[in-house]
Amino acid sequence: MMKRLIIVRVIGTAILLLSTALLRAQDIHFSQFYETSILRNPGLTGLFTGDYKVAMIYRNQWSSISKPYQTGLVNAETRIPINEVGDFLSVGLLGYYDKAGSVSLQTISFYPALNYNKSLEDGQHSYLSAGFTGGYIQRNFDPTKMTVDNQYQGGYYNASAPTGENTLNPKFSYWDLGFGVCFNSSAGSEEEENRLNYVIGVSGYHVTQPRNSFFDNNSIKLGMRFNFNAAASKQMNESFSFQLHGNYMRQGDYNETILGGLLGWHSKDATGAMNFVLFGGLFYRVGDAFIPTVKLRYKDLAFTCSYDFNTSKLKAATNLRGGYEISVIKTGLINNPEHQKSRTICPEFY
């Protein structure tokens, strides 16, 4: 038992050190990636129906095999009309908190975003968007919680024993820069009421490749991350709609592909206005997890719950349990006639 405890603690320490020593670190990710516009592509900022959108997401992962990885995110966006042809400027702010492992490795980030949405005036409600984001990131851990094999003497743990490790700086921070472009439009004739909406885009983050090291080693850089996103949605009839989402992320040697969709059942009130929508669907993170998802939208408020059923090589330890994720999304209109001009027809994903 003592030997197993030593192995677990050594592995935990190794994970911490590797996370800072590798040239290509991995960014946070969410199963409900379609709700994290600024995190995926700043060019997606403002692509929703309404004047503002606020999203809150919480993720809890790997609690079955270690200290749970906990991630929380808040994303706020609004749109400002520019001219009579339908162009608008979108602004947003993303903040997230991530905590992992027994040494409380934490990351706190803030990313403001600016996006210009240019109307192509083609009868398909097409927009070409170009966005930028610049962020501030702080990472830290608690060195008092770190234990290494040198502190186990004669089969017992001695907290006062020297670790034999190089001196670590328990905190560092850096500035970041990202960009993205996307194109959103619709398919079908102008007379068709329920046309297919779609959006595609590409983005890049960590353009300056900032230093990412607790050892104050300037040669250890944060690798650039590239994202490719695509989505489509359609209101099939008065009662049913569907959404399809896909995202590919690559950062150094690490890559992630996640695909899936949601089928929605719509209910209307006595006036014919949309009352609530119940969505159900399934996503798949290739080589890692199946993600059943349920979403309830009541007027302008949406609640989503998903769970990762792990299918990777870790499934023997996790017993298929990856983690759960919940989100709350609020969209709305600003009671100002000037904002009427910004209520262009955008992809109906939210």
pLDDT of 23: 36
Rg of the chain, C-alpha, whole Å:
23
Average pLDDT, integer, range 62-75: 81
Reported pTM: 0.82
Query: Which two three-digit tokens encode residue 219?
Result: 């040669």
Report whether pLDDT(157) > 80: no
Report whether pLDDT(206) > 90: yes
Nearest to 348, CA basis, from 284, 287, 279, 288: 279
CA pair distance 126, 228, nearest whole angstrom: 19
Report whether pLDDT(148) > 80: no
Question: What fold is seen in the domain 2-342?
Answer: Porin (2.40.160)
Q: Are 295 and 284 in contact (CB under 8 A)?
A: no
Report whether pLDDT(4) > 50: no
Q: Is 345 exposed, middle or buried (0-12, 13-18, 19+ CB in 10 A)?
A: middle
Q: HEC states along 283-342? A: EEECCCEEEEEEEEEECCEEEEEEEEEECCCCHHHHCCEEEEEEEEEEEECCCCHHHHHH
Q: What is the pLDDT of residues 214-270, one digit of tens each?
A: 887 777 888 899 999 999 999 888 889 999 999 999 998 889 999 999 999 998 777
Report whether pLDDT(129) > 50: yes
